[in-house]
C-alpha cells in the first residue's frame, strides 16, 4: 500500500519543494538499501509452523487482503493489519513508531475520499524461522473527484515487513518511494 503509496507521493512532492537535494539522495539511498536487504537476504521457508501457513503465497494474500480491507474500511481496515510495535518509514521524512502514532499520522490521507490508494504485491519472501516475511510491490493513487476523476495521481514501489502473530501476518515496517515523473516531451 501500500499506504503508503499515496502518502509517500504526497510527502515526496512536498519535501521536494523544501529540501536540499543532497539530503534527499541520502534518504533515498537508505530506503533503497532497506528494500534490497528485505528482498536480497530472504530465504524461502518451506517447513515449520502449520502446513502452508508461512508460505510466500499466503504472505502475498495477506498483502492483498490488507489492500482490500483499506478500500472497504478506510483507516480501520488499514490499521487492522498493523502490529502494536510497527514502524512506518516516510519517504524523505521521519520514522513513525507505534500503532497509535501511525494511525494519527495516516488518518487524513487514508480517510481522504477524493483519492484512492491501490497496491499490488509483486514479490514475497518468508525468512528463516517462518515468522518474519516481506512483500514488495507497486502502488498507484487515483483521483476520485473533479476534472481529474479516474486519473492516476502518482505511483511508486513499496516494501512491507511482516510478522506472524497468532497465525496471522501483521505489518511491522512499511515504506515506499515514488517513481520519478516521466520527462516532459
147 alpha carbon, distance to own chain's centre? 28
Tell me if residue 84 falls in helix, strand or coil: strand
The rounded radius of gyration (Å) of the Cα atoms in the chain is: 16
Using the CB atoms, write b or e for 143-153: b if 16+ within 10 Å.
beeeeeeeeeb
Pairing of strands 152-165, 168-178: antiparallel
- Residue 185: pLDDT band (50, 70, 90) is low
pLDDT of residue 41: 36
Question: What would the pLDDT profile of 17-28 be if each residue is shown by its tens digit?
Answer: 344 444 443 444
- Residue 48: pLDDT band (50, 70, 90) is very low
Sheet of 152-165, strand order? 95-97, 82-89, 168-178, 152-165, 132-143, 115-126
- Residue 53: pLDDT band (50, 70, 90) is low
Global pTM? Answer: 0.70
Tell me if residue 21 falls in helix, strand or coil: helix
**Is a pLDDT exceeding 60 seen at residue 13?**
no
Average pLDDT over residues 129-134: 92
Tell me if residue 140 falls in helix, strand or coil: strand
In sequence order, which residues have a C-beta less than 8 Å from that of residue 184 and are 6 or more positions away?
A: none
pLDDT of residue 113: 85
DSSP symbol at 131:
S
* Average of per-residue pLDDT values in the chain: 78
Question: What would the pLDDT profile of 72-86 be if each residue is shown by its tens digit?
Answer: 999 999 999 999 999
Please state, in angstroms and rounded to a whole number, the distance separating the CA atoms of residues 115 and 26: 30
Amino acid at each position: 500500500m501500500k499506504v503508503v503509496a499515496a502518502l509517500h507521493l504526497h510527502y515526496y512532492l512536498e519535501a521536494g519543494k523544501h529540501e536540499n537535494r543532497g539530503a534527499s539522495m541520502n534518504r533515498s539511498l537508505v530506503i533503497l538499501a532497506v528494500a534490497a536487504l528485505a528482498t536480497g537476504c530472504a530465504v524461502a521457508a518451506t517447513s515449520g509452523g502449520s502446513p502452508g501457513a508461512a508460505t510466500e503465497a499466503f504472505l502475498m494474500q495477506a498483502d492483498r487482503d490488507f489492500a482490500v480491507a483499506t478500500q472497504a474500511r478506510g483507516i480501520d481496515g488499514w490499521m487492522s493489519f498493523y502490529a502494536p510495535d510497527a514502524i512506518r518509514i516516510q519517504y524523505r521524512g521521519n520514522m513513525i513508531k507505534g500503532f497509535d502514532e501511525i494511525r494519527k499520522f495516516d488518518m487524513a490521507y487514508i480517510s481522504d475520499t477524493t483519492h484512492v490508494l491501490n497496491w499490488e504485491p509483486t514479490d514475497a519472501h518468508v525468512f528463516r524461522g517462518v515468522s518474519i516475511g516481506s512483500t514488495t510491490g507497486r502502488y498507484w493513487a487515483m483521483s476520485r473527484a473533479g476534472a481529474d476523476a479516474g486519473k492516476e495521481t502518482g505511483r511508486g514501489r513499496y516494501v512491507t515487513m511482516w510478522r506472524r502473530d497468532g497465525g496471522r501476518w501483521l505489518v511491522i515496517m512499511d515504506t515506499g518511494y515514488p517513481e520519478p515523473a516521466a520527462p516532459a516531451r
